[in-house]
Structure 1
Amino acid sequence: MYVVSLTYRVPQDIVDFHNDAHIAWLQKAFDNGVFIAAGRKVPRTGGLLLSQADRSVLDASLQQDPFYSNGVADFEVVEFHAGRVAPGYEILLDTPPAPPAEAGPNR
């Protein structure tokens, strides 16, 4: 899993100018399964994205973000393995893939 931290590099009016395009990109990325959560930092100095996508898919998507292509924010990607979660958040657990099913006898 990856946590992506965005930190704004420009004044808020420039962030606001690019925000609609960023939100449209973000929705497309959610629709494509790249992110599972997103939100603003408080105070509003950037945002955080949570992804369970492959790193290459994540990187390709981030490069399409208008905040990235227009130099609005710095991006830091941190890989993290969730080994323990509260009840109801099991989808966040970093579990190994299930072993392949054994083939039955041929008939």
Structure 2
Amino acid sequence: MFVVTLKFAANKAAAPRLMEGHNAWIRQGFEDGVFLLTGSLNPAAGGAVLAHGVTRAEIEARVAADPFVAEQVVSADILEIAPGRLDQRLAFLKGAA
């Protein structure tokens, strides 16, 4: 499982121009079954993604394909978590790639 933070970077002003592509990237992540959650980092610091079912190389490639990352609107940090103790509602995450 991965937690990806997308913190605003030097080219933040380009965000409105790239928003449609960024939203399409998010939509594709959900359609592919990789993204479990996306949301904003408050206050107005960027965004975050919770992803599962992929390898580190696959999530790195997916994150690099985000127009916000490619155009340096945000800088990405990918944290890999090996689930240990889970609430039963999240049991599907145990053993996910």
C-alpha RMSD of the superposition: 2.1
TM-score w.r.t. the length of structure 1 is 0.76
TM-score w.r.t. the length of structure 2 is 0.83
4+ long deviations beyond 3 Å: 10-13
In structure 2, the residue matched to 1:7 is 7
1:74 shift after superposition:
0.4
**Higher percent of residues as strand:** 2
Q: Percent identity?
A: 27
Cα deviation per residue 1:73-98 (whole Å; 9 max; x = unaligned)? 00000111121222422223x3389x
Q: Is the 8 A contact 1:8 1:15 kept in 2?
A: no
In structure 2, the residue matched to 1:100 is none
Aligned length: 96
In structure 2, the residue matched to 1:38 is 38
Which structure has more RCO (C-alpha within 8 Å, separation ≥ 6)?
Answer: 2
Q: Where does structure 2 lack aligned partners over 5 or more consecutive residues?
A: none
In structure 1, the residue matched to 2:64 is 63
2:72 counterpart letter in structure 1: G
**Higher percent of residues as helix:** 2
Larger Rg: 1
Q: Where does structure 1 lack aligned partners over 5 or more consecutive residues?
A: 98-107
